[in-house]
Amino acid sequence: MGMNKEFLVCLVCVVLIGAGWGGQVGWQRYQVAQKKQAAEKAAQVPLLKAREQMLAQIQQVKESRAGDDHVAAAGTSPAAAPTTAPGGNAAAGKPAAPTPAPEDVEMKDFLAHARLSSILLGSPKIVVINKKSYEEGEEVALPSGHRAKVSEIREDGVTLTREGRAYQLLAKR
C-alpha cells in the first residue's frame, strides 16, 4: 500500500479510458489538478524567501544589540568616563556632577547629527539610529549621557521624548 495519490489518479484514468468512460475528461481533470498544484507551490516560493529575509534582518538586529550590550558592559561608552566639573577632584575620588546642557539645544544638536538609517514596521517595530537598533519604549543614549525614549516609530520617522517633550527625527529620502 505504498502507492501515492498521483499514481492512483493515473490508474483510475487508465481504467476509465479502458472501459470507455469518457477517459478524455478524466485525463483533462488530472492535468488541471497537476497545473493547480504546481501553481500553488510556485506561489509559496516568494513568500518563503521574503520570510527568510525578514528573519535574517531580525537576527542581524539582535546580534547588533548583543554587541552593543557587550561594549556598554565593558565600560567603553563615553557615558561611563569619569567627569569633573569646576570644584570637582577626580584624583581625590570626588567625581563632580555632570553639568547638564539646556535640553532643547542638546536634543536639537542630536537630531541634527543623528542618522536614521532603517525603519522596520514589522512586529516589533524597529528603528536604527546611529548604527544602533531600538524598539518602541527603549531609550536612546545621547552624547551627553542623558537619554531620550523612543515613543513612536512611523513610516516617515520616529518620535523621541525627553522630560515630557516630543522631538521628531524624520527619515531623509
- Tell me the pLDDT tens digit for each residue of 21-63: 555 666 677 788 888 877 777 777 777 777 788 888 888 877 7
Residue 169: count of CB within 10 angstroms of its CB? 21
CA atoms within a 13 Å half-sphere pointing along the CA-CB vector of 27: 10
Q: What DSSP designation does 124 have?
A: S
Overall size of the chain counted in residues: 173
Tell me, what amino acid is at 149? Answer: K
> Tell me, which fold does domain 99-173 have in CATH?
SH3 type barrels. (2.30.30)
Residue 74: pLDDT over 50: no
**Exposed (0-12), middle (13-18) or buried (19+): which is 101, by Cβ within 10 Å?**
middle
And the C-alpha cell for 135? 524598539
Q: Name the more confident of 108 and 18.
A: 108
- 3-class secondary structure, 37: helix
SS3 content of the chain, % helix, strand, coil (to 5): 45, 20, 30
Q: Confirm if 142 and 106 have CB atoms less than 8 A apart.
A: yes
How far is residue 38 CA from its own chain's centroid? 32
* CB neighbour list of residue 171: distance below 8 Å, 6 or more residues apart: 116, 119, 156, 157
Mean pLDDT of the chain: 74
Q: Confirm if 135 and 123 have CB atoms less than 8 A apart.
A: no
pLDDT confidence of 69, banded at 50, 70, 90?
low
pLDDT of residue 83: 46
Q: What DSSP designation does 93 have?
A: T
pLDDT of residue 148: 92
Strands across the sheet with 132-135, in order? 116-120, 126-129, 132-135
Helix (H) or strand (E) holding 136: none
> Domain spans of the chain?
24-80, 99-173
